[in-house]
Amino acid sequence: MSSKIVLVAFAVIALAVVSAKRSEKYYARGHVKRIPCGSNEFACKDGNACIPIKWTCDIEQDCDDGSDEGLTCPTDCSHANQFSCKNKQCISRDFVCDGSNDCGDSSDETDCEHFQCIEGEIKCDNFLCIEEAWKCDGYDDCLNNWDEKNCPSG
């Protein structure tokens, strides 16, 4: 086997491992906290769960009853928790500069240098926005290990 093939195989495996870890974390989005809600959380109308405020009116349904995407949400993608793609698709602002192409035309992953990460997020030195809580949690969320550098040991 040539070393080139070995290298490619290794890259494919590494990529698969990284994406599995990431999707595992993103899957956590589906998990909502039980009541009572904190001051920066939204109480779902059915009283069953609390979600971060940034998940309200962000196109994704997070409450079982859909109350986080209720009638008070604008339909023209003008809400602060929404992002308007170049191709006119509307996506959650939470998905902008997170390293994956959610718009379909990658416009959510361009000009990330100037993008202001939303509250509760930090910007990696490669301009990806990640959750503040993901700093020093043992996973390479920035994809260049920036969030796992200079961590208190132990």
DSSP letter, residue 83:
E
3-state secondary structure of 69: helix
**Smallest gap from residue 147 Cβ to Ca ion (A):** 4
Cβ proximity of 128 and 121 under 8 Å: no
Nearest to 26 by CA among 108, 117, 134, 125: 134
Distance, in Å, from the CA atom of 4 to the CA atom of 112, rounded to the nearest integer, reads: 33
Q: Which stretch binds Ca ion (CB under 5 A): 5-13, 37-45, 99-107, 120-128?
A: 99-107
95 binds Ca ion (CB under 5 A): yes
Q: For residues 8 and 136, which CB has a smaller minimum distance to Ca ion in the complex?
A: 136
Cβ proximity of 32 and 49 under 8 Å: yes
108 binds Ca ion (CB under 5 A): yes
Total binding residues toward Ca ion, as defined by CB under 5 A: 15
Using CB under 5 A as the criterion, what x/- string covers residues 117-146 for binding Ca ion? -----------------x--x-x-x-----
Task: Show the tokens assigned to 34.
Answer: 């039980």
List residues near Ca ion by CB under 5 A.
55, 58, 60, 62, 68, 95, 98, 100, 102, 108, 134, 137, 139, 141, 147
